[in-house]
């Protein structure tokens, strides 16, 4: 999927919403436990209720890996029921020596046919480049994350005074083009978006932290959007766990619709 393909979806749906499928079998509505695969059934109903309001889905791979082969089966069935025009992100945060990264890339891009995978940059260029060797597939590199621990390393000044996250982003832009490379930029740092857009003006950003983590959609959109949209704003718990009752899919839609309507208003400005 190209940047223009993604932008076409943004224009059609007036949305840059990505829904995170962080599906915990211990948190889904109890009535679903009667199904052979409760996690898949939960995901299926969420997807059916929200697919016209979002441009992508982001399964957090840990929630599936933790359940072993049953979890992988749930994930494969979930992917099969996501409409073809949706952008799919494996939130796996992989990154290892080259040969291992190549196999991770093969797993997510070929075996499971995700459009993108999140990648940790700590091990440097040779751990990231194998992911960039697949046509119309995307690396979403951790840039400035939304968690509290982002303060531990990501703001550490480097030789010229630039913070570490900026050094990571600038170096990574030498490895891949804006047609291959996105960055994770947390919504809990809204004041940084103007500065970050000056570093990477053309890249898409995956933005976690809106919803349950309290990120400011208006603030980050003001500086984060670019001429091709440029944002995947992710909400997970705030949508998928909007209700723990039999109306969970309806309430998920209502929560997603509120965000989509906010986004439509911002895009129409």
Q: What's the pLDDT tens digit per position in 230-246?
A: 999 999 999 999 999 99
In this model, does residue 148 exceed pLDDT 90? no
Catalytic: 93?
Answer: yes
240 with 1: CB under 8 angstroms? no
- Please, which pLDDT band fits residue 144 given cuts at 50, 70 and 90? very high
Separation of alpha carbons 266 and 42, rounded Å: 31
53 with 79: CB under 8 angstroms? no
Instruction: State the catalytic residue, choosing from 14, 77, 93, 129.
Output: 93
How far the first Cα of the chain sits from its last, in Å, is 27
Span 121-138, mean pLDDT? 97
- Please, which pLDDT band fits residue 211 given cuts at 50, 70 and 90? low
List the CATH code of the domain at 3-267: 3.20.20.70
**How do the domains of the chain map onto residue ranges?**
3-267
Separation of alpha carbons 264 and 269, rounded Å: 9
- State the DSSP string of 79-148: HHHS-TTSEEEEEEEE--SHHHHHHHHIIIIIIS--SEEEE--TT-HHHHGGGGGSTT-EEEEEEE-SST
- Please, which pLDDT band fits residue 212 given cuts at 50, 70 and 90? low
Measured CA distances, 150 to 24, 135, 189, 199 (Å): 25, 31, 10, 19
Pairing mode of beta strands 87-94, 56-59: parallel
- Please, which pLDDT band fits residue 88 given cuts at 50, 70 and 90? very high
Query: Could you read off the pLDDT of 96-119 as tens digits, one per residue?
Result: 999 999 999 999 999 999 999 999
14 — alpha (psi -120 to 50), left (phi > 0) or beta? left
97 with 123: CB under 8 angstroms? yes
In this prediction, residue 269 carries a pLDDT of 61
Span 87-93, mean pLDDT? 98
In this prediction, residue 189 carries a pLDDT of 82
Separation of alpha carbons 75 and 72, rounded Å: 5
Please give the model's pTM, rounded to 2 decimal places: 0.96
40 with 78: CB under 8 angstroms? yes
């Amino acid at each position: 999927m190209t940047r223009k393909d993604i932008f076409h979806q943004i224009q059609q749906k007036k949305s840059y919403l990505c829904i995170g499928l962080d599906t915990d079998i211990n948190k889904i509505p109890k009535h679903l436990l009667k199904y052979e695969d409760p996690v898949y059934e939960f995901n299926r109903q969420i997807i059916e209720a929200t697919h016209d309001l979002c441009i992508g889905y982001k399964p957090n791979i840990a929630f599936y890996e933790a359940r072993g082969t049953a979890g992988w089966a749930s994930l494969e069935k979930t992917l099969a029921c996501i409409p073809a025009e949706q952008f799919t992100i494996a939130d796996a945060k992989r990154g290892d020596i080259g040969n291992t990264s190549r196999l991770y890339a093969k797993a997510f891009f070929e075996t499971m046919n995700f459009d993108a995978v999140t990648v940790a940059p700590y091990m440097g260029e040779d751990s990231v480049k194998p992911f960039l060797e697949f046509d119309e597939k995307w690396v979403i590199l951790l840039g400035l994350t939304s968690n509290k621990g982002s303060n531990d390393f990501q703001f550490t000044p480097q030789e010229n005074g630039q913070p570490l996250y900026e050094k990571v982003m600038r170096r990574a832009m030498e490895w891949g083009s804006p047609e291959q490379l996105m960055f994770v930029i947390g919504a809990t740092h809204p004041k940084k978006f103007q500065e970050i857009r000056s570093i990477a003006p053309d890249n898409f950003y995956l933005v976690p932290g809106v919803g349950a983590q309290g990120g400011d959609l208006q603030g980050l959109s003001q500086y984060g959007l670019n001429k091709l949209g440029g944002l995947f704003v992710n909400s997970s718990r705030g949508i998928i766990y909007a209700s723990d009752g039999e109306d969970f899919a309806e309430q998920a839609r209502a929560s997603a619709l509120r965000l989509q309507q906010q986004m439509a208003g911002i895009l129409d400005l």
